[in-house]
Structure 1
Amino acid sequence: MGSLEISPTVWIVTIVVIVALLALDLAVAAWRPHAVGFGEAVAWSVFYVAVAIVFGLIFMAWAGGGYGTEYFAGYLVEKSLSVDNLFVFVIIISTFAVPEEHQHKVLTFGIIAALIMRAIFIAAGATLLNLFSFMFLVFGLLLIFTAVQLFRHRNEDPQVDDNVLVRATRRVLPVAPDYVDGRLVTRLDGRRVVTPLFIVLIAIGSTDLLFALDSIPAVFGITQEPYIVFVANAFALIGLRALFFLVKGLLDRLVYLSTGLALILALIGVKLVLHWGHTLDDRVPEVETPVSLGLILVILTITVVASLIKVRRDPTARAHAGSLRAHDDQRPDAG
């Protein structure tokens, strides 16, 4: 399978479609601000997943089955990571007690920041892989390390207050005691101060950065085609606002989500390391994309089914987003 040739016209049309879908998602919320119900969240989430699938089928018919398989495998990986990303969004919003009327603003910022950061990392990642084949080894080892840490601390949640950027911001800037009509900056006793919403956006932005560091090497483990990496990420991120309101009520039940993600990241990490070895010696085996896609589907299915069985047997079991390092004041209590 040769390199995928994408004309500037196809890139432009793709970006216009993605921006239009993102604008639709955000415009719906801005046009009629309201608490999104479960049924509405399900309907919009199904719509955006359907759009991603239709795009994948059209792309497969146009580019061929091999590239189509890479797209669907990449989309599955990125969608799984975006759910975990949303898990952390829920924790941040809960930790900082963001009023419901301001949650849309936080989610909008989070989605746009995630798209921008991932686009930057995609460009950088593609350049590095083209210049240095050993970057496959670096990316692979990074994913394996992340997978091991996530599995070790799968029953913990990241401590938002312990976020380096959040601590630094609080140390450098004076913070207002409460939210002020959704502003980021206000005046208090004659001096300019930032509001808690500003701190929340710092936390969300740094979370997006960390997830971009994981997600881009992960999808490059599926395909080295920048176009497929971009569309897999973009379609996984579009519709996150609706998915947020859907998973807010379901995430607690996915008690094995962190374990499943750790296995997927480890699998792709091994795939990247083997690919690097194959560039040095043809005798080193490679994991083909259809095999990766099958294994990812199996892991996700087992994760969901096992989680639901666990919660049915133990209604007190609660899911955790997982953490990359231990926190002394947290103790495992589920999964």
Structure 2
Amino acid sequence: MASIAPAWLWAFFVVSVIVALFIDFVVLKKQGAHAVGVKEALNWSLVWVALSFAFNGLFWWAVYQDHGMEVANTKSMEFLTGYLIEKSLAVDNIFVFLMIFTYFAVPPAFQKRVLMIGIIGAIVLRTVMILVGSWLIAHFHWILYVFGAFLVITGIKMWWASGQEPDLESNPALRLLKRFMPVSKGFDGEKFFTVENGKKIATPLLMVVALVGVTDVIFAVDSIPAIFAITTDPFIVLTSNIFAILGLRAMYFLLAAVAAKFHLLSYGLAVILVFIGTKMLLIDVVKIPVLVSLGVVVAVLAITMVWSVKTAPRLPQRTADSAASWPTAS
């Protein structure tokens, strides 16, 4: 499928992602295992968002040079809408990551490395899935209706599941991993394997990484069709997805601090999925403008977050104080 982006912008994007990941890895190695505080998470989140908007500005300029202002405005709006959709759907990822870390009692100092590995896996996985999805849409237009129906069903299921505590113990992926992978009782630093009774076995940290990987696959299946409802341009689909993922680690530590306050956010995400799925189902009947889609996404997120804060249950003082003292979940 053809893209409106020039070849040099594709190359610039690839180099930018490699450089960003390299810097992140260097910083990660230099800092070593440590708990990420809210201030650090906020600073990194702002950096990733700023880089995403700067890239969108460069994208606008590149399209403007070749196709004029009207097309540039439309395409940059598509990037922004896709970025916000993927960023909002990533919130559900974060709540699942928080559940996994809590279940395995992962020390705060080790969580950053697990998330970094998960981000690398997500980038590779989504790149492959997006390229395959773009090829399918280019050759089989009817696949858009399948994506649309899938999103509507997923949104409805998410709505009904909202407010229910997920049972990780009954998770089939976890049960399968436990069956084939002997696991030590405790952590051995940031190691994925340790030796017990003369045998090399996995540590709980390897189980956590495996579950994070499974989660990436599940949420990629949900989120990638959503961006195709906004645009079928593979460059916009890929770049908006990857930039949303790059800031996932910082956003995790930031949102983990206020997870309890956004208890209604999953309802908003469900509404967004149903809206996007409906838009995709009506793609050949009614063309919903990108600006309208962006407005709906922003409005639903804003209303849900404000309503969540207003109706958030008050924590006991002792719990609130102890949470505030834990850098990664305060």
What is the TM-score normalised by the length of structure 1? Answer: 0.87
The 5 A counterparts of 1:1-335 are 4-33=3-32, 34-63=34-63, 64-275=72-283, 278=284, 284-311=285-312, 314-316=313-315
**Corresponding position of 1:320:** none
- CA-atom RMSD in angstroms: 1.8
Would the aligned equivalents of 1:274 and 1:286 in 2 still touch at CA under 8 Å?
yes
Is 60-69 or 218-227 further displaced after alignment? Answer: 60-69
C-alpha separation in 2, matches of 1:60 and 1:149:
37
| Equivalent position amino acid for 2:10 in 1 | W
Structure 2: gaps of 5 or more residues: 64-71, 317-330
C-alpha separation in 2, matches of 1:99 and 1:315:
26
1:3 offset after TM fit, Å?
A: 5.8
C-alpha separation in 1, matches of 2:225 and 2:192:
33
Q: Percent identity, please.
A: 36
Would the aligned equivalents of 2:36 and 2:112 in 1 still touch at CA under 8 Å?
no
SS of alignment partner, residue 282 of structure 2? helix
Is 66-75 or 102-111 further displaced after alignment? Answer: 102-111
* Bigger proportion of residues as helix: 2
C-alpha separation in 1, matches of 2:81 and 2:165:
27
Would the aligned equivalents of 1:22 and 1:239 in 2 still touch at CA under 8 Å?
no
Task: Call closer, same or farther: CA 1:180–1:132 in 2, change over 3 Å.
Answer: same
1:316 offset after TM fit, Å?
A: 4.9
C-alpha separation in 1, matches of 2:26 and 2:147:
37
1:12 offset after TM fit, Å?
A: 1.6
Would the aligned equivalents of 2:151 and 2:225 in 1 still touch at CA under 8 Å?
yes
Is 75-84 or 4-13 further displaced after alignment? Answer: 4-13
Task: Call closer, same or farther: CA 1:161–1:202 in 2, change over 3 Å.
Answer: farther
**Corresponding position of 1:322:** none
C-alpha separation in 1, matches of 2:27 and 2:164:
35
Would the aligned equivalents of 2:3 and 2:234 in 1 still touch at CA under 8 Å?
no
Would the aligned equivalents of 2:144 and 2:280 in 1 still touch at CA under 8 Å?
yes
Would the aligned equivalents of 1:143 and 1:265 in 2 still touch at CA under 8 Å?
yes
What is the TM-score normalised by the length of structure 2? Answer: 0.88
Count of residues in correspondence between the two structures: 307
- After superposition, what is the alpha-carbon deviation per residue over 1:166-192, rounded to whole angstroms, capped at 9, x for unaligned? 211111222111112222222222223
